[in-house]
Structures are given as structure tokens and as C-alpha cells.
Structure 1
Amino acid sequence: MPVFPKRKTSSSQSERPSVRMLSIGPDSAGQRVDNFLVKVCKGVPKSHIYKAIRSGEVRVNKGRVQADHRLAEGDMLRIPPLRLPAADEPRKVPPFAFPVVYEDDAMVVIDKPAGVAVHGGSGVSFGVIEQLRAARPQARFLELAHRLDRETSGLLIVAKQRKALLALHNMFRQSAGRKIYQALVVGDWVNDRQHIRKPLLKWLTAGGERRVKVDAEGKSAHTIVTCLKRFGRYTLVEAELRTGRTHQIRVHLASSGFPIVGDDKYGSDEVREHFTRLGFKRMFLHAAQLEIPHPLTGENLLLEAPLPPACVDILHHLERNK
């Protein structure tokens, strides 16, 4: 079983951090310097990394750079003292072999369970990518091609080559291919098929938590929602992403008056507590289907992940009691 990481309470750090000089290899060429540092500087808060970049302490070939600077093979990167973990500190990430839906030399597509983050950070020590790397120590390159929310299950692509990763990033930026999710929403969905086009804006709560809202100042977002099955007070819908904004499906559905069952950010506490009493303790959002061109060959791929047993069971319960 995958290990669901607990929130960090402390970290083991080197007492005398020092400057490090790293030569950039071919697998890291083309990566943003901020993303590279987040990966290399395990345990260091992102705010410290960005402060070091802004102050000029991080340098590439002895020159100052911005956070979005792209590294090239052979670059010499200066990493300032950031209180890095000791080099001989044992790995504490438990390995896990997630269910594989598709794999070749370019990428591996897994079926991610709900409740596990895709990567460490934001209060968790590790996620899918760290556990996958721990389970495959021989792999030279494993990087997330996109993201899924922690409570969302389903198809997640991990690139095994930088060339494939860049191609996948470019494909998602251009909204090529199809990403299809299934969600159980509160309410009797009105239309059999509906386009939701509402701009989305990120914001922070007073407690510093990230949220998204519909706002004219936000980025354009487009979701196509199709009714799959009605259960009286609830509806199973299919949501196709035509853009890839943070929390897009969750906010589009909630702002339309149909929040997702179990959503702790945009849904109803009363509904979530009701389903918890029924034994359903997650958000009902599942990345069910990916239809994409292969990042290297261009071959059309149709990948599917069935609904998890917990989701199937609650649908059977609703069917019996509607």
C-alpha cells in the first residue's frame, strides 16, 4: 500500500551548510532553475530558495539569474548555504510500486490513489514521485508531467526522459489531447451536456491556504460537463478539461451550484459528514481517461483507469436508495 505522509513536524538538517557547485547534466538541461533547486534542495522551504535567487546568491556560470532561467547542459550552478540535509542522511521515503496503466521508455502512467500527494511540500514530506523514485532506484529520470490534487485519484503521467517531459508540457499548454474525469456532485444536474467557461483566480485565505475562485481578473478556463447518471439528490458527471487551471473542475462545478461530494475546500461540510458516516471518506473526483498523442512517436494513446472500489460502492448505495 502507498504510505500517506504525515505533516512535517521537524527536519534533520546539516549544522554547517556550505556553498555547493553543481555541473548540469543532460537530464537537467532545459529545466527552470527554481524547479531544479526545489528537487535538489530537499527539505528547504521554497521561500528560502526564491529569496536566494532574488538576492543573487544562486548563480549560473557566475552570473545572476531569474527564477525562470532555463539551465543548459554544462552550466555551473552555485547553490548557496541553504541548510541542506546531510549528504549521508538515510532516505526516509518508503518505496511503493503504484499500479501501472501504461509504460514504455518515454513515460509511465500510474493509477494514483486518493489521499496521497503527487509530490512533497505544502506540509507533506513526500508524495507519489518520491515514492516512485525510491521504488525505482535504477531510474535515471522520473519527473511529473502534470498534477492531480491530493484527494483526486486516477491517471497520472510520469516522464522517464526529459525530451518526453518537455513534449508533454507543451502538449498540455496547447490543450492537445483529452483529459476526462468522473465526479459525483450534489444536486440533479440540469443539462445532458454543458460548457462551463468561467475565469479562475488564485487567492490565499487568512490562514495562508491556497484557494481558487471565479473572477473576471482570473485566467480563462473551460470545462465540458456531461451527465452520466442521476441519483435523485446526486449526479454522476463526466468533466473534460479543455484548460488546466488549478482546482478547475472543483470550482467550476461548485460555482455552478453542484459541488463535488467530499470536497473539503469548495463543498458542503454537512454533505461530507453524511458520506463519511456511510463509509465514504474521500472526494469523489477521478481522472478516468486520457487520450493523448505519444510524446515521442505521435501515436494516439487511449488510457483508462476504472473507478476505485470505494467510488463504485457508494454509487451502488445511492442506486439502491434513490
Structure 2
Amino acid sequence: MLRVTVDEGAEGQRLDNFLIRLLKGVPKTHVYRVIRSGEVRVNKGRAAADTRLALGDEVRVPPVRVAERGAESTPVPAREFPPVYEDEHLLAVDKPAGVAVHGGSGVSFGVIEQLRRARPQAKFLELVHRLDKETSGLLLIAKKRSALTALQDQLRERETGKTYAALVVGAWPASRKVIDVPLHKFLTDEGERRVRAVEPGHEQAKRSITLVKVARRYAEFTLLDVTIKTGRTHQIRVHLAHEGHPIAGDAKYGDFALNRQLARGASKFERMFLHARRLRFRHPASGEILELEAPLPAECEAFLATLVT
């Protein structure tokens, strides 16, 4: 039986995230199974996955078998990402498309694991929010527990402004500025996470609001500025596809025939055209309003240059 006392580095962390980091090599599904079974105790009592740990809490963990040596995940390479802003409280990076923000669900490692390996002296590095693997752009990482909780509170209270650049298929109607359509998260028969738009009143759906503004029109596409008022999984991708204008290159919810055509064309555009380009929030320590921007990636700019206006 393992007994661990919560220190400043883990204070305020969710129990599931604490155990996932503590039990490296143990599948997440097994971690959640152990929590649900009641075998994990916090101060001798049962605790849920979303229990927030306090300084000095004692976490009792039952014996858990770690994955066999041969089945170990790929070693995590040290990697820094293009910084947009950094101080002693937080780091904002420009995440490339095709890189997951964290390991799990068949991915050995992501941005956060690579940053931790690149900065072994850092006592605390945690994701403030997430971006889809296929999405590029601004990603916030907290360097202190206090910064993490303050920034996540802002996100929860919808006090931040997140704007994305999205290139969609077809002519987006200028009058369509607000999408207020509930979203329902589900698993496919293959166990893949998916999201669908549903009618209001669906018992398992969550209200989801997306604001859309036309940035530029092309003959066959429209470049949009998209701001989300709720942060649901795949929200922008599903909302835009639901309106009949999927994002160019979206392999999950897009126009698959068009995606193949784009990948084989002269431009060889092989990614999803969704980029987190602007992020506005209050600094967790000073309270100053920060507005960060990440320019469109070179491959997106190059693709736009091939389009007819």
C-alpha cells in the first residue's frame, strides 16, 4: 500500500490527474477503475475522481501493476514550443497542428510531457486548457498552482476571449452570426470519442454557443473568425459542420472527398484549417488584461494564397 502526502506542487489538483502522474505506466482506464472501486482513500475516506486535493492530505493508493517493460510507451523527447508569452506564472506557446496537448487515448506523449522533459528544473507545469491535436495555435500552461486555478476559474466563468481562424467549405451567410445548438458527446462502437449536434431538451446534451464573423471570402471557401462562449469538445468543428460548412481538412466531421482532393492538389494541404489565433484574459497575479496573438501557420497562409477570391 502506497501512502502519499499532498505537497504544494499537487495542492488543488484533481485526484484523477494526481494519480495519473503518480502512477506512470498505468493505463488511465485502470486508474479510474481503482478510484470507482473505492480502493483509493483520501484521509481514510472514499473520494471521487474530481476530488480536489488539499495541502497535507494523505492519499492511500492500493498496489497497482505497471505496464510490462516491453509494453512501455515511447520515451518522451524533450521539446520546447514557440513561446508567445512567458513569465514566472505562466507560459503561452504556439502549438503546431498534429501534436497532442497530452498523452493518452493511443498517444504516448504530448506538449506537456515534452515540456516537462525539456525543463527538468520546473517544479510545476500544467495545462490550463486543451486544444484538439489537429488544431494549431495558442495554448496556456501554468507554472504555479495559483496561476492554474486562477486561469481555470476565468475559463469556467467565461471571462476569457478565445478566437479561432477557421476556413470552411462554401459561402458562409453573413447573417449567421450566432450558433446556439446543444452538443452531445458519445463513443462510437470502436470506442472513439465523437460529438453531435442535437435538439434542445436532449437530456445528455450541453448548451453550446459559438459566435461567427466572416473575415474573408474566396470562390469556394470562407475564412471565419470564430469565438466560443462555451468550451465543449470539438465545439467549433461540429457547429460549423452542422451549419453545412465543415472546416477544410477536418478528418472527423469534414468533407472527406474534398479533404483527399486538397491533400493531392498542388498545395498538398493535409491538415485541418483551425487555428487558435487570439486569447484574451486577466493575468493571474497582476490582474492586467493580456491579449495574445499567434499568426496563421505558414502552411495555412500558403494555402490561402492559392485560393481564388
When the two structures are superposed, what TM-score results if normalisation uses the length of structure 2? 0.94
Please tell me whether the aligned partners of residues 107 and 157 of structure 1 are also in contact (alpha carbons under 8 angstroms): yes
CA distance in 2, matches of 1:120, 1:42: 11
CA distance in 2, matches of 1:300, 1:203: 37
Please tell me whether the aligned partners of residues 100 and 132 of structure 2 are also in contact (alpha carbons under 8 angstroms): yes
Give the match for residue 272 of structure 1: 259
Give the match for residue 286 of structure 2: 297
Unaligned runs of 5+ in 2: none
Q: Shift of the alpha carbon at 1:63?
A: 2.1
Give the match for residue 170 of structure 1: 153
Residues 1:144 and 2:127 aligned together: yes
Aligned residue for 2:99, secondary structure, equals coil
Are the structure 2 counterparts of residues 239 and 77 from structure 1 closer, same or farther at C-alpha, using a change threshold of 3 Å?
same
Residues 1:225 and 2:212 aligned together: yes
Q: For 1:116-195, what aligned pairs fall within 5 Å after superposition? A: 116-191=99-174, 194-195=177-178
CA distance in 2, matches of 1:125, 1:294: 32
Give the match for residue 5 of structure 1: none
| Stretch of structure 1 that moved more, 139-148 or 64-73 | 64-73
Residues 1:240 and 2:227 aligned together: yes
Aligned residue for 2:302, secondary structure, equals helix
Give the match for residue 91 of structure 2: 108
Aligned residue for 1:108, secondary structure, equals strand
CA distance in 1, matches of 2:208, 2:82: 31
CA distance in 2, matches of 1:132, 1:287: 20
Deviations 1:151-172 (A, max 9, x none): 0000000000011100111100
Please tell me whether the aligned partners of residues 192 and 226 of structure 1 are also in contact (alpha carbons under 8 angstroms): no
What is the aligned-residue RMSD (CA, Å)?
A: 1.7
Paired residue type of 2:33: K
Give the match for residue 49 of structure 2: 67
Give the match for residue 281 of structure 1: 270
Paired residue type of 2:148: L
* Structure 2 residue corresponding to 1:252, chosen from 234, 239, 242: 239
Please tell me whether the aligned partners of residues 74 and 108 of structure 2 are also in contact (alpha carbons under 8 angstroms): no
Give the match for residue 194 of structure 2: 211
Paired residue type of 2:165: Q
CA distance in 2, matches of 1:281, 1:246: 22
Please tell me whether the aligned partners of residues 193 and 227 of structure 1 are also in contact (alpha carbons under 8 angstroms): no
CA distance in 2, matches of 1:90, 1:236: 39
Q: Shift of the alpha carbon at 1:190?
A: 0.9
Please tell me whether the aligned partners of residues 179 and 291 of structure 1 are also in contact (alpha carbons under 8 angstroms): yes
Are the structure 2 counterparts of residues 32 and 43 from structure 1 closer, same or farther at C-alpha, using a change threshold of 3 Å?
same
Please tell me whether the aligned partners of residues 288 and 304 of structure 1 are also in contact (alpha carbons under 8 angstroms): yes
Please tell me whether the aligned partners of residues 73 and 108 of structure 2 are also in contact (alpha carbons under 8 angstroms): no
CA distance in 2, matches of 1:64, 1:160: 30
CA distance in 2, matches of 1:313, 1:192: 29
Paired residue type of 1:311: C
Please tell me whether the aligned partners of residues 184 and 285 of structure 1 are also in contact (alpha carbons under 8 angstroms): yes
Please tell me whether the aligned partners of residues 260 and 283 of structure 1 are also in contact (alpha carbons under 8 angstroms): yes
CA distance in 1, matches of 2:158, 2:50: 22
Paired residue type of 2:249: G
Q: Shift of the alpha carbon at 1:33?
A: 0.7
CA distance in 2, matches of 1:96, 1:293: 28
CA distance in 2, matches of 1:110, 1:196: 29
Are the structure 2 counterparts of residues 249 and 75 from structure 1 closer, same or farther at C-alpha, using a change threshold of 3 Å?
same
* Number of residue pairs the alignment of both structures matches: 301
Q: Shift of the alpha carbon at 1:292?
A: 1.0
Please tell me whether the aligned partners of residues 147 and 285 of structure 2 are also in contact (alpha carbons under 8 angstroms): yes
Please tell me whether the aligned partners of residues 212 and 246 of structure 1 are also in contact (alpha carbons under 8 angstroms): yes
Unaligned runs of 5+ in 1: 1-18
CA distance in 1, matches of 2:126, 2:208: 26
Q: Shift of the alpha carbon at 1:90?
A: 11
| Stretch of structure 1 that moved more, 74-83 or 115-124 | 74-83
When the two structures are superposed, what TM-score results if normalisation uses the length of structure 1? 0.90
Q: Percent identity?
A: 55
Deviations 1:181-215 (A, max 9, x none): 00110011111661111111101111111111112
CA distance in 1, matches of 2:100, 2:247: 19
Please tell me whether the aligned partners of residues 118 and 150 of structure 1 are also in contact (alpha carbons under 8 angstroms): yes
